[in-house]
C-alpha cells in the first residue's frame, strides 16, 4: 500500500513538472511572432504539430524547400533573417495557435530543444495591479468572462527572457502550480482566480484567457503585487522596515532603494541594513521621509515612511457610543497628498494607516481631508493623526486629535 501511495505521489509530481515546463506565448491576432534560434549551430528545425501531422516551417539546412509540407497561405506569411537566426510568422491568425518545437544540432548532437505553445487572441488587455498581503486571500478579476465561454488561467514564468506563461490549472479543478492543489481556485460566478494564503511566489503577472470553442477571444492580464505599508514616526525616533520577501534560494541578497532619488541604500550607514536585511533608522530626520523599496528576485516590498516634526498639544473630541464623528485635516490642501494614522487604545500603542492597514468598515477616508467614523464605540478611542506630504513625500504638517469616551 505504501508503494502505491509513493508511486501516486511521484506520478503527480511528474505531471506537475511536465506542466511547469510548458511555455505558452500569447500574441494578438494580426501581430507577428519571431522565433530566435541559437547561433553557431549546424542546422535547426522549427516545426508545428496539427493533430497527428507535423509541419516543418523552417529547416536551416534547406530553407524554403519545394517539398515543404507548409500550406501555401502560411508560407506566404513566413519571413527569415539568417544574420540574426530569427524566423517570423507574420499577421498571426487563430489558426496559428498550437504547439511548436525548436530543435538544433551541432556536430550531430542536439544542442537546443524547446517546446512552446502559441495562443493567438482577438484582443489583449493589460489590467490593473492588485495588491495583497502575505498569508491572506485575494481574488484576481477576469474581464470579459461570460457564462457561455471557457476560461483558462495562466501565470507568468520568470525563467525565460521573453514573456512566457505556464498553466495554473491542468483542467478545471486541479492546480498544477502547487502541491496541495488547494491554494488556487476559480470563482464560479465571476471566473476570478482566488489565491488563498498568498506567498512570495504568487507575486507575478497572471493572465485570464477567455475561450470560445478552443479559440482565444480575449487575453486579460493582472499583476499581483505586495501591498505597501505606511509608517508614521516623529523626528529622533527609531524605525525598522522589515524585508520579508527574502528566500533561501535567492542568489543575490535583497537591495534597498529610495524612490525619487533612486539612491541605493544597501551600503549606507544611516539608515543601515541589519543581518535580517531590515532597513534600520536609529535617529529619524525629516529628510528620511519617502518611499523605500526592498527588492529580492523579481519581487519588491514597498514602504511609505512619514517623518514629521514633534507635534504640539492635540485637539480633543468627546463622543458617545453610536455617534458619527468627523475629524478634519485643516492643512490637507497644502501638500500633494495626505493620510490618516490611528493609534487606538486596543492596538497596544501601535500606529496603523487608514489607507494601507486599517480594515475597519466603519471608518471612511475622503480626499477633502475628512475622516468619518460611524457607529462609534469605546474601542475607537485613541489618537488620530493627519499627515500632509509635498510632492516629494516630505512631511509638510501633522495634526493630532484625541477621541475621548464620555
Residue 71 pLDDT > 80: no
> Sign of dihedral through CA atoms 66, 30, 216, 88?
positive
- Does the pLDDT value for residue 68 go beyond 50? yes
Per-residue pLDDT averaged across 308-337, rounded? 86
Domains contained in the chain, CATH given: 2-118 (2.60.40.10), 121-226 (2.60.40.10), 229-308 (2.60.40.10), 315-405 (2.60.40.10)
- Mean pLDDT, the chain, as a whole number? 81
β-pairing, 109-132 vs 23-28, is parallel
Residue showing cell 501516486: 8
pLDDT tens-digit map of 273-311: 888 889 999 999 988 988 898 888 778 888 989 899 887
pLDDT at 139 exceeding the cut of 90 = yes
Look at residue 19 in the predicted model and tell me its pLDDT. Answer: 38
Specify the pLDDT at position 179.
41
| More reliable by pLDDT, 209 or 176 | 209
Q: What is the DSSP string of 103-156?
A: EEEETTEEEEEEEEEEEEEEEEEEEEEEEE-TTS-EEE--TT--TTSEEEEEEE
What pLDDT score does 172 carry? 46
* Residues 108-131: tens digit of each pLDDT: 889 899 999 999 999 999 888 898
Report which of 361, 349, 315, 126 is spatially closest to residue 223, judged by C-alpha positions. 126
CA 154 to chain centre: 13
Rounded distance between C-alpha atoms, residue 348 and residue 344, angstroms: 8
Range of lowest pLDDT (100-104, 137-141, 350-354, 365-369): 350-354
- Of the candidates 398, 392, 369, 203, the one whose C-alpha atom is nearest the C-alpha of residue 309 is 398
| Residue 67 pLDDT | 56
Amino acid at each position: 500500500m505504501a508503494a502505491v501511495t509513493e508511486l501516486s505521489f511521484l506520478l503527480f509530481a511528474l505531471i506537475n513538472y511536465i506542466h511547469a515546463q510548458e511555455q505558452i506565448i500569447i500574441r494578438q491576432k494580426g501581430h507577428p511572432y519571431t522565433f530566435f534560434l541559437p547561433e553557431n549551430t549546424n542546422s535547426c528545425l522549427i516545426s508545428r504539430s496539427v493533430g497527428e501531422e507535423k509541419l516543418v516551417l523552417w529547416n536551416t539546412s534547406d530553407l524554403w524547400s519545394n517539398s515543404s509540407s507548409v500550406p501555401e497561405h502560411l508560407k506566404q506569411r513566413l519571413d527569415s533573417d539568417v544574420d540574426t537566426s530569427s524566423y517570423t510568422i507574420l499577421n498571426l491568425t487563430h489558426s496559428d495557435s498550437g504547439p511548436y518545437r525548436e530543435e538544433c544540432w551541432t556536430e550531430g548532437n542536439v544542442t537546443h530543444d524547446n517546446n512552446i505553445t502559441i495562443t493567438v487572441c482577438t484582443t489583449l488587455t493589460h489590467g490593473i495591479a492588485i495588491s495583497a498581503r502575505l498569508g491572506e486571500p485575494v481574488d484576481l478579476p477576469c474581464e470579459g468572462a461570460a457564462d457561455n465561454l471557457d476560461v483558462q488561467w495562466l501565470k507568468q514564468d520568470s525563467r525565460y527572457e521573453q514573456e512566457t506563461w505556464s498553466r495554473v490549472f491542468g483542467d478545471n479543478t486541479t492546480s498544477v502550480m502547487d502541491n496541495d492543489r488547494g491554494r488556487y481556485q476559480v470563482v464560479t460566478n465571476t471566473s476570478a482566480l482566488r489565491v488563498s494564503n498568498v506567498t512570495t511566489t504568487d507575486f507575478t503577472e497572471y493572465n485570464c484567457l477567455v475561450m470560445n470553442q478552443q479559440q482565444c477571444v480575449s487575453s486579460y492580464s493582472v499583476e499581483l503585487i505586495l501591498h505597501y505599508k505606511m509608517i508614521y514616526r516623529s523626528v529622533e525616533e527609531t524605525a525598522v522596515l522589515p524585508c520579508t520577501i527574502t528566500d533561501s534560494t535567492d542568489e543575490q541578497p535583497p537591495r534597498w532603494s529610495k524612490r525619487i532619488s533612486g539612491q541605493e541604500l544597501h551600503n549606507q550607514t544611516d539608515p543601515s541594513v541589519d543581518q535580517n536585511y531590515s532597513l534600520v533608522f536609529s535617529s529619524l530626520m525629516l529628510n528620511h521621509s519617502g518611499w523605500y523599496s526592498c527588492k529580492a528576485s523579481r519581487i519588491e516590498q514597498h514602504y511609505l515612511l512619514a517623518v514629521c516634526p514633534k507635534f504640539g498639544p492635540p485637539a480633543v473630541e468627546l463622543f458617545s457610543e453610536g455617534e458619527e464623528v468627523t475629524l478634519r485635516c485643516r492643512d490637507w490642501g497644502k501638500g500633494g497628498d495626505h493620510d490618516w494614522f490611528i493609534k487606538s487604545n486596543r492596538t497596544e500603542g501601535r500606529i496603523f494607516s487608514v489607507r494601507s492597514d486599517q480594515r475597519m468598515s466603519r471608518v471612511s477616508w475622503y480626499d477633502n481631508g475628512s475622516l468619518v467614523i460611524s457607529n462609534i464605540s469605546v474601542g475607537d478611542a485613541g489618537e488620530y493623526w493627519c499627515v500632509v506630504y509635498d510632492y516629494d513625500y516630505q512631511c509638510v504638517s501633522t495634526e493630532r486629535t484625541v477621541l475621548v469616551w464620555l
